[in-house]
Structures are given as C-alpha cells and as structure tokens.
Amino acid sequence: MDEAKDSGLTRIQRRNREIILEGALTVFAVNGFRGTTIDQIAAECGLSKPNVLYYFPSKDEIHKTLLTKLLDMWLAPLENIEPEGEALQEVLDYVAAKLRMSREYPRESRLFAYEILRGAPHLTEILGGRLRNTVDDAVAVLRGWTEAGKLRNVDPHHLIFSIWSMTQHYADFEVQVRAVLGEGHDPFSEAEIFLEDMYRRLLTP
C-alpha cells in the first residue's frame, strides 16, 4: 500500500514526504488537527511552508495519510491473534503487544485519540468497515475459545474495548498519569504487571 502510493515518485520525493509525515505526526499528536498549523509542521521538519505544500496538496491530506498508515500498524496485533494458539496466552500477548505500542508509539496513539474524539471525520468508512471486520473476526475467535471452555465467559466486544482503553490510556493521558504517580515510577512497566494479572484473573476459566 505504501509502495503503491509512493510508486512513480523520485527518491527525493519519497524522502521528503517521509520527513513531512514524521514532523507532522509529532505536531498533530500534541496539538490535534485544528491546533496544528502548516507553519509548525514546516518548522518541525526544517522545510518551508510552501515546500511542505509542494509535497502534499493540503493539511487535510497530510493528516489523512498519517491516519491511513497508522491503521495498518494499529490493527496488526489484533489480526495476528492465532486461533490455533493457547487461548489465554494469545490474549495476554495481545495485551502486551498493545501496551508496547502505546509506549513506543505514543504519538500514533494520540493522533488516533484526537481523531476519534472529534467524531472521526477522516476515518468514517474505516471504522464501520475494516476496523469492524477485524474486530468481528477476533470476537469470533474469542467466542470459540469460550465455548471450548478455554476462556471464562465474558463479553468479547467489551473485552477488546477494555484492552484498547487501558493500554492507550498510558499514552493518551500520560500527563495525568505522571502527575498522579509523581517521581520514581515507570508507568508502563507497572501497567504491564497489573494488566497481565488482571486479564489472567479475568479470563482463567
């Protein structure tokens, strides 16, 4: 998909588009879509404003491109759940993977949070389409495990919501988490232990 969109571009074009997306992600993740100006993006990546708009037709387009690229990464762990695997461990692995993504890609998490908060105007088709399908598949797998007695019976949709909300919380609400915890804490490491314990307890039959 990346290659498809970038095909026909020179090396410089590809490179500069990458630089712009990288800088834009940083700024969007802090200020949101409306709070971000092309000036800020240009400053962040060391290009001039018109030059940014030479590589992308508009601020909207930069934002949409970021969201589209983000979603591939975001949904991968859920798509990688292995129906033939050991049920509880598969879920715990998914939780851990999602938490790791929050830690390593907090900008992506915030970009996504901002977009959902404002009603997801740049994601409408995807939410009810690809995202929903992916979740439906995962829900079917979870139901199978439950019926086979490998997992305790809980609502699979809300199980997934709980994983999303708790893992992304540490990226999206980081300011609050750090303010409440004060110094001397590693939020993500503590969360890893807490969440593993929580889901093991919740899902063990």
Partner DNA sequence: GTCTATATGATGATAGAC
Partner DNA sequence: GTCTATCATCATATAGAC
- Residue 88: C-alpha distances to residues 91, 111, 141, 149, 192 (Å): 5, 30, 12, 11, 16
CB nearer to a copy of itself: pick between 32 and 144: 32
| Using rule CB under 8 A, residue 92 touches a copy of itself | no
Locus of tokens 């305790």: 152
Of residues 97-156, those binding DNA (CB under 7 A): none
Task: List the alpha helices (DSSP H) in 36-155.
Answer: 38-45, 49-55, 59-79, 87-104, 106-117, 124-126, 132-147
Closest approach, Cβ 127 to DNA, in A, equals 23
Which residue of 1, 4, 50, 201 would you call a contact of DNA, by CB under 7 A? Answer: 50
Q: What is the DSSP letter of 198?
A: H
- Residue 25 engages DNA in binding (rule: CB under 7 A): no
Binding residues for a copy of itself, rule: CB under 8 A, are: 30-35, 110, 113-114, 116-120, 127-128, 131-132, 135, 152, 154-155, 157-162, 164-166, 168-170, 172-173, 175-177, 179-182, 185, 190-191, 193-194, 197-198, 201-202
